[in-house]
Amino acid sequence: NEEVTMENVKSLKKKLLQSNEDDKVIIAYSGHGLLSKSYDYYLSTYNVNFNQPEQNGLPYDELENLVDGIKARKKLLMIDACHSGEVDKEDMQKIAAVQADLKKENNVSPDSRGIKLPPSQNNKLGTKNSFELMQELFVNVGRGTGTTIISAAAGTQFALERGDLKNGVFTYSVLELLKTGKTVTVNELKKHVSSRVSELTKGLQQPTTRNETQNVDWIVW
């Protein structure tokens, strides 16, 4: 609650710097993800200005900075928030301009989860092709912290909640796997949340991942 401030989150770095090479560092964030008017990505804090997230919001870079430069080699960051897949700002600006033109010329409104195409083109893109297009436009461009990052949704998607699950769908899928009591590796976790979230949201939400240590798979629990 009120303890979730940018200063308190940033102060966690002091503890993480005490980790050693054999430690596992797992950070899970569940909350609101916000895009500023300039398409910079912020995570909500207790006192964030939702209309101007740059005021007291936690910049994404500050969250990733927590695991940058620490000794632990096994690092996992999970983000259950809207727009948590990284956004290519230049592409977003281009798409916004195209959407404005489409709306003006064809009376087409942008879809809240991504790109709305003119009616004549809608039937040319299935779910798989739309996801591939989204992946090309919104590329993970992290700084190389050696961390596996699993995001609840693509840069242009919303992280959905369901009342019957009593959680965000992404967090529910993680807890669901945890409650099985089975030993789970990073790759198994990624595979589970990817398929389960898509299934529970009927394809409206697709987690994205960035694994900076492609040849290393380790046991999460």
Mean pLDDT, the chain, integer: 75
CB 193 within 8 A of CB 148: no
* CA geometry: angle 18, 21, 27, nearest 5 deg: 65
For 49-91, how does the pLDDT look when each residue is reduced to its tens digit (9 = 90+)? 988 999 999 998 899 899 999 999 999 999 888 755 555 555 5
pTM for the structure as a whole: 0.69
Residue with tokens 């959680």: 167
- Give the tokens for residue 26: 């797992």
Q: For 68, list phi and psi in degrees, rounded to 5.
A: -90, 125
